[in-house]
Amino acid sequence: MLEIELDGKLMQVAEGSTIMDAASQAGTFVPHFCYHRKLSIAANCRMCLVQVEKAPKPLPACATPVTNGMKVWTHSDAAVNAQKGVMEFLLINHPLDCPICDQGGECQLQDLAVGYGASESRYQEDKRVVANKNLGPLISTDMTRCIHCTRCVRFGQEIAGIMELGMIGRGEHSEIITFVGKTVDSELSGNVIDLCPVGALTSKPFRYSARTWELTRRSAVSPHCGLGSNLTVQVKQNRVMRALPRENEAVNECWISDKDRFSYEALNSEKRLARPMLKRDGNWQEVEWPVALEFVAKELQRIKGTHGAAAIGALATPHQTLEEMHLLQKLLRGLGSGNVDFRLRQADFSMDGKRAGVPWLGMSIADINTLDRVLVIGSTLRKDHPLIAQRLRQAAKKGTEINLLHAVDDDLLMRIANRAIVAPALLPQTLAQVVKAAAEMRSVAVPEAVRAVVVGVAVADAAKRMATSLTSGQRAGVFLGNFAEQHPAAGELHALVQALGEILGCAYGFLGAAANSVGGYVAGCVPGGRVPGKNARQMIEAPLKAYLLLGVEPELDMHNPRQATAAMRQAELVIALSPFQHRATEYAHVLLPIAPFTETAGTYVSTEGRVQTFAGVVKPLGETRPAWKILRVLGNLLGIPGFEHDSAEDAQREALHGKSEIFNKNNKLSNTLGVPPAAGGGLLRIAEVPIYAADALARRAPSLQQTRDAQPPVATLNRALAEQLGLQPGDLVRVVQDGGEAVVPFAIDDRLPADCVRLATGQPETAGLGAAAAPLTVERVAQTQKVAV
Amino acid sequence: MGLPIPPFAVDLFGPDAVIMKGVNGLNWRLQDYVARGGYAGLKKILAEKIPPEQIVNELKKSALRGRGGAGFPTGLKWSFMPKQYSGQKYLVCNSDEGEPGTFKDRDILRYNPHSLIEGMIIGGYAMGITVGYNYIHGEVWDVYERFEEALEEARAAGYLGANILGTDFSFQLHAHHGWGAYICGEETALLESLEGKKGQPRFKPPFPASYGLYGKPTTINNTETFAAVPWIVVNGGDAFLNLGRPNNGGTKIFSMSGDVARPGNFEVKLGTPFAKLLEMAGGMRDGRKLKAVIPGGSSMPVVPADVMMATDMDYDSIAKAGSMLGSGAVIVMDETRCMVKSLLRLSYFYYEESCGQCTPCREGTGWLYRMVDRIEHGRGRAEDLELLNNVADNIQGRTICALGDAAAMPVRAFIKHFRDEFQYHIDHKKCLVAPYI
């Protein structure tokens, strides 16, 4: 510890601290612009100049290390004089267009100008004007306002992992710019809006729609990925205007992904379902709630009467709240059916009945930063878990070895120590090699549960390198991504990871696809227990008579969209609860408008098992009702006991058995798993869910849908396969799977494994295709006409 | 005038020359350098296995100070290099000579490149460094090409590379050229540029001795500093010190420019009176009267004629006269020079060359330039001189690197010494001097 005197007060600070650190510790505010505690130090704005004893000139607090016995004055005349001098320089070329600037009211320059600026400018020369830049659909620019603090540049380089913004030119001609003709496409790009201390970078969707002081700030939790980012949702006249990060160092730090930030646009979408609708004589009619609910209750009773309760099934998306999922399963079980599930994209359910507890991340999110060896299996980290990827990126920078076992080799914008990119069908086999090698290196026996699949494999170099990496560290972590969780041999992957965890003595778990992927289990929204039931896949493979869809869009959300659509079409009754109008109008019999996350109270259990409860921030739109209330009334109408909840809290208490944060998080599987049948030959499809196709909100957020990540699907294959198919540039390909087809453009990616076609799922263009991982055929479609220039 | 055309007289650089002694413009090759006694210092070190500390001690004794502008004691700088550091360390020569008025390093590289090469090899030996770079100003291309040739000669002769002269000492030296940005002469901007990045200064600390090129311990010296090292090694630190004055050891090359009859580089003993130096440069051109001198390159404060004529050319004396020796670029101005116009040219230079990284320099240099421009063009205002001084104050000492100071100091000095001329421009909307030319 060092002893210093700050503004006349003695204090102890840790060695290696800067004056800024010391001031923060003392609760003293030193004005600054370029400094940000999550970014490297640039010391370029010079606003934090302070007086230091024996220093001939003022020193920047952000960049000056503290030395023992140092005396610092942050607000002395000399310090303030220097700070005021800098403020004057910052303002001379600043347009001072605060009245028309979106940043007005939440602008660091504006705020500090009150304290350090003069009321009148001494600058009588012409002011600089800087041309605006097109950064894409999310970020709006007014570059004349830029004060060149380079926070946005450093964010790209250091946090997002990609330098999409940089400063060109020198002196007064310096400008922040993208690479020529490029936009800012990072999935974390919106954070530069928060970082920009002036109005140079502002939100494009929010532009000119409200002043910050008109907005009410309410807390919320992100409904998208498993991280459970904490949000501040800003509201004006009962309309969500903006979503911002709410700082939580243990979860999202001070960041959020673009999906968290811009999906709110869908809340105000014209495609919102505002009134209950009933299909009468083939026509959709708006009806009052009692009419709709009575219809639902009556029809459910009828189906139960004619076909038995087991002919009724309920599906929920993993983005529904804990309360909703709890009441859904309670309703179904009350009806006498055990057919309830939220694991819509899962293909392999062999783990059910063998789980020791609720599957989860296996550690806290913050613990990710402490790992020194990591194995990620089946994850396109950046697009599936933008901020977990960010944490791993920071860890990798500090020397953590990241090992990747996956079917695609997208640039994760971090150093990957070892990688094995193999066809999806070879994932378990390759993982088995790692297990075998690790066991040999640690001189331990391969755990019994997987011995049968491990003993026979020949360990290839890549697996050996990974095992070497994993066994050489102090703290390893093994993670299964969405692709692994949705893999046809997910159970085998799970068992192998468990074995690897035992060998390494390390934590392992699931990155968690959605906001409530853990919560669904906690709520019991899965088959099992007293009333036997079918899982999501079985409910589709052997179609039921009635489906209750809680937020589900079967053609986009299910593992096998073709089969799912067919199941819906043949059903006698489809009850669709959704905040949006969607394709259910083609097969549903009743549409019930339910509240999205901003219009209802609810709870998400994040991938680390964090229970996060939120209240609605605006009143439900039109006749929309929170789903928990609808389910409760249905329970009453159906005469099922135990539906007396007065509030979401009641439902939450019931779901958590009154123990707010305690449930059995445990990834362990008991018993030996059966070896799944080997995949057949032919071409295999690699189907992932694109970042902005993953849930109903993101799909309907217009700005996100204009980004590069929201492009229509393209079939990607390696050069050898393209040549084999005789594909020419500009060709389309016809992809046929399970009798369904999609005609899409193609692209070449030589990092893809042989005989694989990468074609995303979750998009309308591919909704006619079959199971995500099923074999497919591809053929060339005539070359598109080239327009002569 | 132009460059002197070789062969020129061997005393072109002055009778007391040490670095440029015996140089005639054609004898720059290795064999000529060796014939003049070159590489003797290196051979001596390697043959006698002189301990590195001893070399550093000799340098300390010699009172050799950095010739690039800051005048930092070279021996002391070399002693900062961590000895026990196990990783790669670098030695860098700053030949990015961009200071207006300075043109000495290019003459060393052009006419006596091996003196620098030998100096750097000795530096590598003294500090346990195996790799060096010479960053050469991009606007003197012939010099860069010649230096590459000289490097080839030194490599071929076994002075450079692995196992120098059959010993176990190895040193690799590479030439690198910039593209003419003034800021790249700032040592940390130079390092950034050398790493392939945009030339922008780093904030210090950490200093290059602990975090330099590629984040490794690095020593950076000016061309002339390195070029003086072989002589010190051969003749001893005391001998070098005795050439000059205490704390101001050795000789220094001064680049004489402006209104003198014979502009050029002159290597004289530190402490030589300015009057003597002016005489070497052929005195004032056309017999005009001396008005002012910028004694150390464009960044240094201007000194009025009477003060300058009473000043000796060494670090301490010039400091006493209110300026700095800097890089040794002596810009001489006669009575016909308009000081407003002169300052305008300087202010424009710093405005153009500011890297734009930090606020006071990026915004302030433009403000200074625009104000001086207004005054020069008859649009000055009564409050301008105070404002100019005040803006210069707000730049000086508040920036990441010294460019801010370099922009501010001339403004303050020009106004301080020639306020009347500025006031006349403001009051009468015309020049005080121009009508008399």
pLDDT tens figures, A557-581: 999 999 999 999 999 999 999 999 9
CA distance A788 to A771: 40
- Chain B hits for A57, CB-CB cut-off 8 Å, are 397-398
B348 touches chain A (CB under 8 A): no
A568: amino acid identity, one letter: M
Contact B359 A44 (CB under 8 A): yes
Strand pairing report for A59-60 and A175-178: unpaired
Contact B360 A89 (CB under 8 A): yes
What pLDDT score does A789 carry? 42
Contact B363 A90 (CB under 8 A): yes
From A556's Cα to the closest Cα of chain B, the distance in A is: 46
A658 falls in which pLDDT band (50, 70, 90)?
A: confident
From B387's Cα to the closest Cα of chain A, the distance in A is: 8
Return the closest-CA partner of residue A339 out of A306, A305, A312. A312
Return the closest-CA partner of residue B21 out of B29, B31, B10, B30. B10
Contact B362 A57 (CB under 8 A): no
Q: How many Cβ pairs within 8 Å bridge chains A and B? A: 95
A661 falls in which pLDDT band (50, 70, 90)?
A: low
**Which of A18, A44, A92, A153 is the mutation pick for testing B, counting most B CBs within 10 A?**
A44
Strand pairing report for A277-280 and A312-316: unpaired
Beta strands in A321-407 (DSSP E): 340-341, 373-377, 401-406
What pLDDT score does A786 carry? 46
CB atoms within 10 A of CB B26: 11
What pLDDT score does B432 carry? 87
Structure tokens at B410: 């001339």
What percent of chain A has a predicted confidence (pLDDT) above 70? Answer: 97
Virtual torsion, Cα A535, A540, A541, A542, nearest 10 deg: 90
What pLDDT score does B417 carry? 96
From B385's Cα to the closest Cα of chain A, the distance in A is: 13
B203 touches chain A (CB under 8 A): yes
Mind listing the pLDDT tens digit for each residue in A732-742? 999 999 889 99
Mind listing the pLDDT tens digit for each residue in A283-301? 999 999 999 999 999 999 9
The structure's pTM equals: 0.94
B141 touches chain A (CB under 8 A): no
B98 touches chain A (CB under 8 A): no
Q: Which residue of B has its CA nearest to A66?
A: B205
Structure tokens at B428: 């009468």
**Which of A170, A174, A176, A397 is the mutation pick for testing B, counting most B CBs within 10 A?**
A170
**Which of A34, A87, A172 is the mutation pick for testing B, counting most B CBs within 10 A?**
A172
What pLDDT score does A788 carry? 46
What pLDDT score does A680 carry? 62
B404 touches chain A (CB under 8 A): no
- Chain B hits for A40, CB-CB cut-off 8 Å, are none
Q: Which residue of B has its CA nearest to A80?
A: B394
**Which of A17, A35, A86, A89 is the mutation pick for testing B, counting most B CBs within 10 A?**
A89
CA distance A349 to A491: 7
Is A377 in contact with A481 (CB distance < 8 Å)?
A: yes
Parts of chain B with a pLDDT under 50: 1
- Chain A hits for B371, CB-CB cut-off 8 Å, are 125
What pLDDT score does B212 carry? 97
What pLDDT score does A670 carry? 85
What pLDDT score does A664 carry? 87
From B215's Cα to the closest Cα of chain A, the distance in A is: 15
Contact B356 A43 (CB under 8 A): no
Q: What are phi and psi of A8, to 5 degrees?
A: 85, -5
Helix/strand/coil for A73: strand
**Which of A46, A146, A154, A173 is the mutation pick for testing B, counting most B CBs within 10 A?**
A46
Contact A49 B398 (CB under 8 A): yes
B182 touches chain A (CB under 8 A): no
- Residue B205 preceded by cis peptide, ω within 30: yes
- Chain A hits for B367, CB-CB cut-off 8 Å, are 89, 92, 123, 125
Contact B394 A86 (CB under 8 A): yes
Contact A86 B371 (CB under 8 A): no
Contact A46 B398 (CB under 8 A): yes
What percent of chain A has a predicted confidence (pLDDT) above 90? Answer: 93
What pLDDT score does A529 carry? 84
Mean pLDDT (chain A, rounded): 95
DSSP state of A457: P
Of B355, B356, B398, the CB nearest to A58: B398
Q: Which residue of B has its CA nearest to A64?
A: B205
CA distance A379 to A620: 36
Measured over the CA atoms of residue A747, residue A750, residue A751 and residue A755, the dihedral's sign is positive
Contact A88 B394 (CB under 8 A): yes
Q: Which residue of B has its CA nearest to A50?
A: B398
Mind listing the pLDDT tens digit for each residue in A443-477? 999 999 999 999 999 999 999 999 999 999 999 99
Average pLDDT score over residue span A636-662: 89
